[in-house]
Amino acid sequence: MTTANTPEEVRREIRQWIAGHWDPELSLDQWRALLADSGWARPAWPREWCGRSLPGALAAVAAAELRRAVVPGPAEGVGMMLVAPMLLEYGSEELKRRFIRPTVTGEITWCQLFSEPGAGSDLAGLQARAIREGDAWLVTGQKVWSTGAATADLGLLLARTDADVPKHRGITAFVLPMRQPGVQVRPLRQMNGHSSFNEVFLDAARVPARYVIGEPGGGWTVARATLSHERRLAAFPSLPAAEGQAWREAIAERNAATEPHKWYPQRAGRPDLAIPQAQATGREADPLVRQEIARLIELAWSARWMEERAAVAREAGQHAVGSLGKLASSKIARQAARVHAMIAGASGMLAGPGSPLGGVVAEILVSVPGISIAGGTDEIQRTIIAERMLGLPREPDISKGVPFRQMRAG
Ligand SMILES: Cc1cc2nc3c(=O)[nH]c(=O)nc-3n(C[C@H](O)[C@H](O)[C@H](O)COP(=O)(O)OP(=O)(O)OC[C@H]3O[C@@H](n4cnc5c(N)ncnc54)[C@H](O)[C@@H]3O)c2cc1C
């Protein structure tokens, strides 16, 4: 295992390792297994769980080297971004052993089953309930907006296990096996024409008792940690046009994994297209367009610097900083949409052949609102920043001390 403790040493070590192990004709499974067992899959994670216990800055150097060497990385998506980091913090040894490595290698995929028809911002008001029966829990209720649930193997589920205590204290986090008779998934259609979300109906769905994450009743802590990871969800990095078996499989996997997220670049506002579009349409000399593009670039740069600061704060255990990045992404997306609308004018509303960017501008305009909602709305991020970072008075909470059963929920 690594002894490297400077960027140069990390670079040298990982380069040597890649030179000794990478073969484009390996299958993706074989390559990811090597990556997981070497600890280079997620160098910041603990050694025993596919990592090398490197500090964040050195782990970033290793990740950059993997990209530079044009080799596939570990699996992507909700499992790697949300579930695995949360399991590392709160999962039992058994849950870690069962789920971390197959998540890293991509053998299992995940969805997040938090939101309900009556519980989004007020997530702690959720009503899906789990009842203990022998060595299992039986879960009944409805989830909604569950991205990727139609294809996921497992769900990270929040359910109420005790209605006689205040709402935050009676929630438990579970790993729910999705492929079972008690789980029914129905896709929803969005205004941008895509179908990433699902409704999930749970009817006595079975969860083994050992699949509880943390303690029964401790689900709120797990939920908060998960949401703080979600608030810094990065876009999928672009894949190189590389050859070989492992890359063919990685590209096929990416296409399948990103099917529900195809519109996410548009959701982020496509700031990368602002200058090329201004140039292509002859608007680059327009002082108003230039001014709005400059604002966009200013926002994007300051968000990048803030994210670097936030990474350090997170290592020191300050999770609320994720809200700053989440809020910044919403602002950037809205400003990018504004620039695209200025450049395209009314024709930006058109889709189909001959429309601006073949309909991409129209898709940006109807997708950008999603980023201000997913993972906690802008208003909720502002409340978190106000209360947990600025120390302002807390929002009045009428549920304080009241057993959930006595509350009007939904
Ligand atoms: C792209 C996308 C992907 C998603 N993926 C998932 C997923 O995979 N799994 C999952 O579980 N959920 C998912 N969601 C759901 C998301 O977490 C919820 O939509 C979000 O938390 C908001 O909840 P809501 O839709 O019920 O809105 P509500 O909570 O009903 O909010 C409605 C409005 O009221 C405002 N509001 C509510 N409470 C307050 C308050 N206390 N103070 C000020 N304003 C307030 C909100 O800001 C909002 O403007 C996804 C959503 C989107 C858009």
* Ligand 1 centre distance from Cα of residue 376 (Å): 5
* Ligand 1 centre distance from Cα of residue 336 (Å): 22
* Ligand 1 centre distance from Cα of residue 35 (Å): 36
Helix axes 287-315, 322-344, angle to 10 degrees: 160
Q: Which of 86, 154, 373, 394 for mutating ligand 1's site (highest number of atoms within 8 Å of CB)?
A: 373
Instruction: Look at ligand 1, atom 38, and give the residue with the nearest C-alpha.
Output: 121
* Ligand 1 centre distance from Cα of residue 154 (Å): 22
Ligand 1 atom at shortest distance from the alpha carbon of 78: 8
Predicted model pTM = 0.86
* Ligand 1 centre distance from Cα of residue 81 (Å): 19
Ligand 1 atom at shortest distance from the alpha carbon of 369: 53
Distance of CA 86 to the CA centre of its chain: 12
Q: What is the C-alpha to C-alpha distance for residues 359 and 214, in angstroms, rounded to an integer? A: 46
Which residues does a 6 A CB cutoff place in the pocket of ligand 1? 112-115, 120-121, 145-147, 370, 373-377, 379-380, 383
pLDDT at site 84: 96
Instruction: Look at ligand 1, atom 3, and give the residue with the nearest C-alpha.
Output: 374
Q: Are 404 and 170 in contact (CB under 8 A)?
A: yes
Instruction: Look at ligand 1, atom 27, and give the residue with the nearest C-alpha.
Output: 120
Closest by CA to 4, choosing from 49, 48, 61, 86, is 61
401 token code pair: 């001390």
Ligand 1 atom at shortest distance from the alpha carbon of 115: 11
Instruction: Look at ligand 1, atom 16, and give the residue with the nearest C-alpha.
Output: 374
For strands 171-177 and 183-187, give the pairing: unpaired
Q: Which of 126, 377, 382 for mutating ligand 1's site (highest number of atoms within 8 Å of CB)?
A: 377
Ligand 1 atom at shortest distance from the alpha carbon of 111: 8
Q: What is the C-alpha to C-alpha distance for residues 281 and 299, in angstroms, rounded to an integer? A: 24
Q: What is the C-alpha to C-alpha distance for residues 95 and 213, in angstroms, rounded to an integer? A: 8
Ligand 1 atom at shortest distance from the alpha carbon of 378: 47
* Ligand 1 centre distance from Cα of residue 5 (Å): 42
Other CB atoms closer than 10 Å to residue 153's CB: what's the count?
Answer: 15
Closest by CA to 269, choosing from 157, 198, 360, 350, is 360
Instruction: Look at ligand 1, atom 51, and give the residue with the nearest C-alpha.
Output: 374
pLDDT at site 228: 78
pLDDT tens digits, the chain, 410 residues: what are they?
556 789 999 999 999 999 999 998 999 999 999 999 999 999 999 999 999 999 988 998 998 998 888 888 898 889 999 999 999 999 999 999 999 999 999 999 999 999 999 999 999 999 999 999 999 999 999 999 999 899 999 999 999 999 999 999 999 999 999 999 999 999 999 888 888 889 999 999 999 999 999 999 999 999 998 987 775 555 556 666 677 888 788 788 777 766 777 888 899 999 999 999 999 999 999 999 999 999 999 999 999 888 888 777 777 777 777 788 889 999 999 999 999 999 999 999 999 888 999 999 999 999 999 999 988 899 999 999 999 989 999 988 888 889 999 987 65
pLDDT at site 309: 81
* Ligand 1 centre distance from Cα of residue 160 (Å): 19
pLDDT at site 397: 84
Q: Are 11 and 43 in contact (CB under 8 A)?
A: no
Closest by CA to 333, choosing from 409, 401, 239, 270, is 270
Kindly calculate the radius of gyration of the chain based on its CA atoms and give it in whole angstroms. Answer: 22
Q: What is the C-alpha to C-alpha distance for residues 223 and 206, in angstroms, rounded to an integer? A: 20
pLDDT at site 336: 97
